[in-house]
């Protein structure tokens, strides 16, 4: 029962790669937006806040379709990126990573924003009297103190990306070896006769991966917390 077929291995490998790239790609934007929302007051802040949260409440198929018409080869953003940078998202695994990043982004930003809001700003004032300019204050005080939230945000984004289905399949379809993730393959297997055993194997793999992500995140958060409040 537990002999995974090459097709299944490919899907697992692809899922992990897509989730990892989505998480790492979203991270700088997540930190930037989380910091802006936590600290700055600017015109249109509530609009940015809503836009960031939108993928959380929209039907994933809508998000996927919006990605398709904007980042597809003929879409305005997609055409621009293709022409000037040679980056193509549509029907590639990179597109799946983009869809997963967009879907996981609200969770990531929320965790980072909350952790930055919880920082004692007086410590940043102290750092500035000690000679640190804004960038150094951010790098040596704000970011290290927000680290547990950053890790939590990354894990949430990763988990969301692993499970993403609707936006991905709408945007980049379900191509074996390119965009067929675990979720998409399970879906395919449930549509064919005699796919039950394979689907069940992948379900178990999904559960294992999710559990592993949770355990690792708990461990990392505890280590980061100990670093900050350590004795």
Partner 1 sequence: MLTVDVEKRLDSFMLMAKFDVAQGVTALYGSSGAGKTTIANMIAGLVTPDRGRIAIDDMVLFDAAERINVPPHRRHIGYVFQEGRLFPHLSVNANLHYGRYMHGVASDNAETQRIVELLNIGHLLKRRPGALSGGERQRVAIGRALLMKPRLLVLDEPLASLDRRRKLEILPYLVRLRDEAHIPMVYVSHQAGEIVRLASQVVRIEDGRVRAIGGLELLDVNPSEMVY
- List residues near partner 1 by CB under 8 A: 122-123, 125-133, 136, 140-141, 144-145, 227-231
**Shortest CB 128 distance to partner 1, Å:** 4
Q: Residue 15 is encoded by which pair of tokens?
A: 């899922």
Residues making up the chain, counted from first to last: 231
Those residues with Cβ within 8 angstroms of residue 152's Cβ, 6 or more apart along the chain or in another chain? 111, 115, 217, 221
Nearer to partner 1 among residue 69 and residue 130 (C-beta) = 130
Q: Which long-range contacts (CB under 8 A, 24 or more apart) does 198-203 make?
A: 198/5, 198/8, 201/1, 201/2, 201/4, 201/8, 202/8, 202/11, 202/12
Nearer to partner 1 among residue 52 and residue 146 (C-beta) = 146
Helix (H) / strand (E) containing 33: helix 6-39
**Shortest CB 123 distance to partner 1, Å:** 6
Nearer to partner 1 among residue 127 and residue 205 (C-beta) = 127
Q: Residue 26 is encoded by which pair of tokens?
A: 């979203």
Q: Residue 177 is encoded by which pair of tokens?
A: 């070896």
**Shortest CB 45 distance to partner 1, Å:** 23
Those residues with Cβ within 8 angstroms of residue 151's Cβ, 6 or more apart along the chain or in another chain? 217, 220, 221, 224
Nearer to partner 1 among residue 194 and residue 229 (C-beta) = 229
Give the integer Cα–Cα distance in Å for 183 and 101.
16
**Shortest CB 158 distance to partner 1, Å:** 24
Nearer to partner 1 among residue 40 and residue 122 (C-beta) = 122
DSSP 8-state secondary structure symbol assigned to residue 141: I
**Shortest CB 146 distance to partner 1, Å:** 10
**Shortest CB 114 distance to partner 1, Å:** 18
Nearer to partner 1 among residue 100 and residue 127 (C-beta) = 127
């Amino acid at each position: 029962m537990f002999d995974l077929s090459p097709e299944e291995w490919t899907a697992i490998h692809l899922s992990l790669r897509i989730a990892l790239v989505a998480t790492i790609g979203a991270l700088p934007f997540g930190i930037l937006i989380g910091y802006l929302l936590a600290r700055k007051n600017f015109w249109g802040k509530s609009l940015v806040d809503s836009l960031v949260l939108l993928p959380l409440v929209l039907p994933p198929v809508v998000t996927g379709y919006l990605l398709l018409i904007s980042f597809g080869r003929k879409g305005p953003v997609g055409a621009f990126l293709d022409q000037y940078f040679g980056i193509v998202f549509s029907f590639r695994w990179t597109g799946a990573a983009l869809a997963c990043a967009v879907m996981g982004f609200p969770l990531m930003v929320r965790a980072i924003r909350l952790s930055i809001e919880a920082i004692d700003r007086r410590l940043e004032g102290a750092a500035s009297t000690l000679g640190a300019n804004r960038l150094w204050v951010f790098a040596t005080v704000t970011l290290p103190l927000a680290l547990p939230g950053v890790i939590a945000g990354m894990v949430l984004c990763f988990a969301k990306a692993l499970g993403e289905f609707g936006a991905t399949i709408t945007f980049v379809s379900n191509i074996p070896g390119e965009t067929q993730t675990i979720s998409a393959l399970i879906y395919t297997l449930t549509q064919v006769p005699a796919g039950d055993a394979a689907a069940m194997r992948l379900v178990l793999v999904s559960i294992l991966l999710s559990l592993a992500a949770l355990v690792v995140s708990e461990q990392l958060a505890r280590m980061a917390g100990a670093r900050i409040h350590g004795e």
